[in-house]
Structure 1
Amino acid sequence: MQTNLAPQYQGTPEGQEAEAILRSCVHCGFCTATCPTYQLLGDELDGPRGRIYLIKQVLEGAEAGPGTQLHLDRCLTCRNCETTCPSGVQYGRLLDIGRGIVERQVPRPAAQRAARTLLREVLPRGWIFKPAMKAGQLLRPVLPAALRGKVARATPPGRWPTASHARKMLLLDGCVQPAMAPNINAATARVLDALGIELVMAPKAGCCGAIRYHLNDQEGGLDDMRRNIDAWWPAVEEGAEAIVMTSSGCGVTVKDYGHLLRHDAAYAAKAARIAMLTRDISEILCDFEDALAARIDSVHARSVAFHPPCTLQHGQQIRGKVEGLLRAVGVDVRLCADSHLCCGSSGTYSLLQPELSGQLRERKLAALHATDAEEIVSANIGCQSHLQGGTGTPVGHWIELLDRLLQQSSQPSQDQARRRSQAPGGRPHAAA
């Protein structure tokens, strides 16, 4: 695609990157066929190709208006188009550039500004969000149905392992996940503990930066990223093997730290190192497939429908690892029709675009229910919460299922060992 950037963007980092991405697009239209919002709305400007045109016009000097902003806002950033694109167009990065420029040009109505400010100031701060979620959970029975669906049911975190191991990995605790589903990280720690790996959290690490960055507070998002790098760096220098991600939405962002901070002289090298060390938990555990299969009794396995988040299959390009691992331990894993399509969660999208998000959830749940699975598992807290708000079928993280299978499989052997250690009178046998 030929471009002619306006003078104010020529030679700038965002202008150079955008121009390179625009020139890689050949306008074949393959992306349109897999765009969820185009499927719902049937508007070329609500598909990747149309949005690319809008961003190109703005970069060439055309004045953006509320219509341009609306079409860019409606994008889920699911990046299905990137998976489909034969030319390798990095649409997600172009969209971030376009949204940032349009945000500076087009003032939002007061209600939109207030909603976005609330989201980017509350969600990334666990010390605010956690008590707010607890309050919502206490009031959940009397909340309106629409709001009740956004409040996760209170669940206990479970035991965190206390054993020390020579092998150590870092964990991003995250911002909303510890309040909404605290057992996910605890389950991850228990599974890795069973494999001889200690999971360590850096207390000062927090939100990965995605929330603020994708709400067009890009400098605020970069500050969140720098804080995490500072928090992790001592452990990295001490030899931590990896930085484990249990939320694919966080994982896709942290893996991009090297790119996002490439122009920051103080952080560029560290950010690249952090990105290289970052692994989704499925990437870690696929190397332990045989060990896990040997520990798990398949009699405890059940049928599950796996919903692969867009941030896992399109953002990180990880496909098949979760399904393969669960099948190896005896789980009947079922993928629904159109499993490549977004469920409508997409970070804060379900709050800012509730109508479109709700339609996509209904379509996704209908397909998941058609598998007749006993439960639904995913790999991202946003997807889990969004799907659970529309169904009575249990929705959880696949690592919780794996942890449960390990515990159920180990229980009989523990009971048998306990019985063998007891004499007929109930006293332990004397040591030989």
Structure 2
Amino acid sequence: MQTNLADFIRDTPEGREAEEILRKCVHCGFCTATCPTYQLLGDELDGPRGRIYLIKQVLEGQPATARTQLHLDRCLSCRSCETTCPSGVKYGHLLDIGRKVVDQQVPRRGAEALKRAALREVVPRGAVFGAALGLGRRFKPLLPQGLAAKVSPAAPAGPWPAPRHARRMIALAGCVQPAMRPAINAATARLLDRIGVSLVETRGAGCCGAVRFHLDDQDGGRHDARHNIDAWWPAIAAGTVEAIVVTASGCGVQVKDYGHLLKDDPRYADKAARVSALCRDVAEVLGAEAARLEPLLAAHAAGRPRRRIAFHAPCSLQHGLKIRGVVEALLGAAGFELVPVRDGHLCCGSAGTYSLLQPEISRRLRDDKLDALQGGGAESIVSANIGCIEHLGSAAKLPVRHWVELLFDDENVT
């Protein structure tokens, strides 16, 4: 794709990156075949190729409009197009650049601005979000139906083994997961403890930064990244931890991107690259330990009836982190039968705060996904990202849990 970027961005780091990405696009349109919003809306501008053209026009000096912003807002950032693209176009990074420029030219106003500001201030702050969720649970009958459906019941975490092994890993606590599903990280800690690894959380670490970054505050998202790096760095520098384990695949994509996000920051570039290299989704960690773990799973499953489950692979897992087949293999070793899921590559509509900002599209995607997940005779649904779990769980007829909770589920506290 030929480019002629405008003076305001041509010689900037973002401009050079955008130009490199744009020049890889060959207009083939393969991406539209796997784009959830294009499949729903049938509008070229609601598919990756159309959005690339919109971003190119803005970067070449054509003023952005509210319509431009709407088409970019409708993108789920699922990165399915990146999996499909034969040319290796890094659409996600281009979208980040384009959204920043468009949002500067078309400031948010009114209710939309207030909604985004509230989400930026509440969701990334774990204590604030936890208090708000507690109030929501207490007064759930008084909430509007749509909001009430998103308020999940409280559940205990279960035991977390004390550190006792020479091998040690850090867990990202995150922002919403400790309040909504504390059992996920606790179950991961018990699993790793079985194979000789102690999992710890680091005081001071918090939101991965994705919430602010994708809500018109990229500087705030980078601030959150620096905050986490500072919290983790003493243990990393001392060489006492071998990985940063993330149990929410959406957060994993963000943390693995720290090296890119902070590449132009002279104070943090090297540290960010190191953190990105250490970041591991829990599937990567347990998959690498399969030789130790699978015999334990098989022994635990021996003599038990095989249960049928449906696995929803989050977009952040399969398209963002490029992890496929690992979760399925571990669940199979644990004695579960995975039912086929139609259109498993498509998004469920959660996409971070997307379900709150684009509720109609999100609902349609969720309902389509639940039809596929619940249509094969499964007893329950499992996923790998807190947003997907809560989004699907708001309307599912079956229980929805994180897959790590099922591996030794009779030993979990529920």
TM-score between both structures, scaled by the size of structure 2:
0.96
Q: Write the mapping of 1:20-35 to structure 2, written as runs, cut at 5 A.
A: 20-35=20-35
- What number of residue pairs does the alignment pair up? 407
**What displacement does 1:142 show?**
3.6
Could you tell me how far apart the structure 2 residues matched to 1:162 and 1:270 are?
Answer: 28
1:333 equivalent to 2:334? Answer: no
- Secondary structure, in 3 states, of the residue corresponding to 2:289? helix
Q: Which residue of 2 aligns with 1:76?
A: 76
Contact 2:163 2:200 in 1 (8 A): no
Is the alpha carbon distance of 1:365 and 1:159 closer, same or farther for their aligned partners in structure 2, counting shifts above 3 Å?
A: same
Q: Which residue of 2 aligns with 1:102?
A: 102
- Secondary structure, in 3 states, of the residue corresponding to 2:75? coil
Unmatched 5+ residue regions in structure 2?
none
**What displacement does 1:195 show?**
1.1
Contact 1:378 1:397 in 2 (8 A): yes
Q: Write the mapping of 1:19-418 to structure 2, written as runs, cut at 5 A.
A: 19-239=19-239, 240-296=241-297, 297-298=300-301, 299-300=303-304, 301-404=306-409, 407=411
**What displacement does 1:267 show?**
0.2
**What displacement does 1:293 show?**
2.8
1:297-333 Cα distance to aligned partner (Å, 9 max, x none): 3244521100000000000111111001111222112
Moved more, 103-112 or 53-62: 103-112
Contact 1:64 1:106 in 2 (8 A): yes
Contact 1:34 1:81 in 2 (8 A): yes
Could you tell me how far apart the structure 2 residues matched to 1:210 and 1:91 are?
Answer: 17
Unmatched 5+ residue regions in structure 1?
409-432
Contact 2:318 2:324 in 1 (8 A): yes
Could you tell me how far apart the structure 2 residues matched to 1:2 and 1:79 are?
Answer: 23
- Secondary structure, in 3 states, of the residue corresponding to 2:169? strand
Could you tell me how far apart the structure 2 residues matched to 1:183 and 1:339 are?
Answer: 26
Identity in percent: 62
Could you tell me how far apart the structure 2 residues matched to 1:307 and 1:42 are?
Answer: 24
Could you tell me how far apart the structure 1 residues matched to 2:190 and 2:139 are?
Answer: 31
Could you tell me how far apart the structure 1 residues matched to 2:292 and 2:52 are?
Answer: 47
Contact 1:242 1:277 in 2 (8 A): yes
Q: Which residue of 2 aligns with 1:428?
A: none
Root-mean-square deviation over aligned CA pairs: 1.1
Once superposed, which parts of structure 1, at least 4 consecutive aligned residues long, lie more than 6 Å away? none
1:146-167 Cα distance to aligned partner (Å, 9 max, x none): 1111111111111111241111
Moved more, 100-109 or 23-32: 100-109
Contact 1:24 1:87 in 2 (8 A): yes
Q: Residue 68 of structure 1 aligns to which amino acid in structure 2?
A: T
- Secondary structure, in 3 states, of the residue corresponding to 1:303? strand
- Secondary structure, in 3 states, of the residue corresponding to 1:115? helix
1:111-148 Cα distance to aligned partner (Å, 9 max, x none): 11000000011100011000111111122234332111
**What displacement does 1:372 show?**
1.0
Moved more, 142-151 or 55-64: 142-151
Could you tell me how far apart the structure 2 residues matched to 1:229 and 1:272 are?
Answer: 10
TM-score between both structures, scaled by the size of structure 1:
0.93
Contact 2:120 2:212 in 1 (8 A): yes
Could you tell me how far apart the structure 2 residues matched to 1:54 and 1:329 are?
Answer: 47
Contact 1:175 1:207 in 2 (8 A): yes
- Secondary structure, in 3 states, of the residue corresponding to 1:364? helix
**What displacement does 1:289 show?**
2.2
Could you tell me how far apart the structure 2 residues matched to 1:302 and 1:136 are?
Answer: 34
Could you tell me how far apart the structure 2 residues matched to 1:353 and 1:169 are?
Answer: 37
Contact 1:387 1:395 in 2 (8 A): yes
1:46-91 Cα distance to aligned partner (Å, 9 max, x none): 0000000000000000000000000000000000000000000000
Could you tell me how far apart the structure 1 residues matched to 2:168 and 2:238 are?
Answer: 10
Contact 1:190 1:403 in 2 (8 A): no
- Secondary structure, in 3 states, of the residue corresponding to 1:9? helix
- Secondary structure, in 3 states, of the residue corresponding to 2:245? strand
Contact 2:163 2:199 in 1 (8 A): no
Could you tell me how far apart the structure 2 residues matched to 1:145 and 1:343 are?
Answer: 20
Q: Residue 140 of structure 1 aligns to which amino acid in structure 2?
A: K
Q: Residue 373 of structure 1 aligns to which amino acid in structure 2?
A: A
Contact 1:168 1:241 in 2 (8 A): yes
